[in-house]
Chains A and B, each alone.
Chain A
Amino acid sequence: MGNERIEDFFKHELLPVSRKVKEIRKAYFANDFDETAPSYFVNRMKISMNKDDFENGAVSGPNNFEKQLESLWMSQSQYELITLKASLADLAKSLIVTEELDEDVSPFIYVMF
C-alpha cells in the first residue's frame, strides 16, 4: 500500500514537476566542474542559529509539515514545488510507521571511517 502511494506520487506529481524544472532549465545544484569559478564555496546567508531556528525545525503533524514546506519553498522562491505540499503531507501521513529499519544504514548518508 505504502509503495503504491509512493509510486503514484512519483509518477503523477514528482515527474511532471521534474519535467517542468528541466523545461525552464532550473537546477537545484551543479553537476559538473566550473573552470572559471575561483571557488566552489557558498557563503552562508545564515551563519549561526537563533532561538527560532532551534524551535521551528520539528514537525508536529501533517498539517504542520505542509505549512513548513510551503514556508521553506516560499523563502527560497521555489514556487514550482509548492504545488506538491498537500500531496506530500498526505503521503507522509500515510507512511508513518513504527520504526523498524531492516538495513544497517540509510542510503542517504555515508559517514567515513
Chain B
Amino acid sequence: MTRQILEYHPVIGYRFIPNLKARIPHEGGGYLIQTNSSGFRCCHEFKTDPTPFMKRVLLFGDSYTAGDGVSNGQRYGDKIEALANAEVYNFGLPGTAPDQHYLAFMEYASKIRADLTIITVLVENIRRIAARYRPYQNEQGNTVLFSKPYFTLINGSLELHGVPVGREPIKEADLPEQSREFVDTGGRFASLRKIMNRVGLKDLTQRALHYQPLPEYDDPQNSYWLLMRAILEKFIAAVPKPVVVMPLPLYQHVEGTADPSGYQSRFSELADSNPCLVHDPLPSLLKYSPTERRSFRFAQDIHPTPAGHVAIAASLAPVVMDLLGMKKVT
C-alpha cells in the first residue's frame, strides 16, 4: 500500500493532499511527510501577517526542496530554519519546475509577508518547463498522461497555457504526434540511461564521455534557457525581496562526472541583470571527499539523503543569515 499523496489542483496541476501525515516506504527505510492545510509539505500553516520576533523565508522548488526520500525535519529548508532561527514556508512540489512554482506563489503566497524568498532551481528543470504533460501509471497499470500548466515565450512575452488544468487523464495513444515531444520523460536520452543503469555502466560512461546532461545551458540564446530565464525574471519580480536563486546541481555535477560551466554561466548572467542573489552551492559541495559526495544521494534514488540536505543547508545558511541580518553561528 502506498498512499496517494498528491491531488488535482486547477492552476498548479496538483498539490499535496492537505493535512496529511504519511510514511513513504523508500530505499532509505522510509520517510515521514506532513502537509499543512494548504496542501504543501510544510510544518507551518501559512499566515499572511508576520510572526512576532521571527523572520520568515519563502522557499520554492521541486522534489529536492519538498524532500523526496527524507522526513520533513531532515530537509535543507528545515535545517536552515533551525540554523537561522527563522520560519521557512516550504512550497516545494515534486515533479514541478519554476513555471509551477511561480503559479504556486501566485495562488498561495502572494499575500504572505516575508523577509526573504529562495527560489531553488534543480538545473534539470530547464526541461520540465517545456513539458505540457506528465505520465502517470493508473490503477490498471497503464501509463496515462495528465496535463500541466506551461508558459510559452513569444516575442519576448510570456504566455500561460493550460489553466485550468485538465482533470481527465489522456491515453498516450490519443496524444497527437506533434504533442508527444512535450511529455516529460525525465531528461535526455531516457532510454539509453535506462539501459546503462541496468548494466551498471552509467557513471563510468558519463565520466569517459564528458557527459553534458543539460546542453540547453550551453548557449545563452537557447530557447529553453530563454524560457527559463523569462519565467525566473517574472518570478523574481513578483516575490518578496531579497531573493536568492539557488541552482541545484545534478549528482553528476557534484560527483564530477559532468561539466557545470554552462548552467553556472547562465545563472550568473541572470544575477547580473536582476534584483536577486544567485547562490551556487556546487563549490562548497565539491569540497567534500568523493565518498562523502556519493553519500549525498541514495544508492538508487538520486534525491538527496539526509547528509545531502545537511550539506546543501550548510552551503546556503550563511547567505540566508546574512540577508536576514543575523549573525552566523560558529
Give yes or no for direct A-B contact (beta carbon below 8 Å): no
Task: List residues of chain A with CB under 8 Å of any chain B CB.
Answer: none
Task: Give B contacts to A, CB under 8 Å.
Answer: none
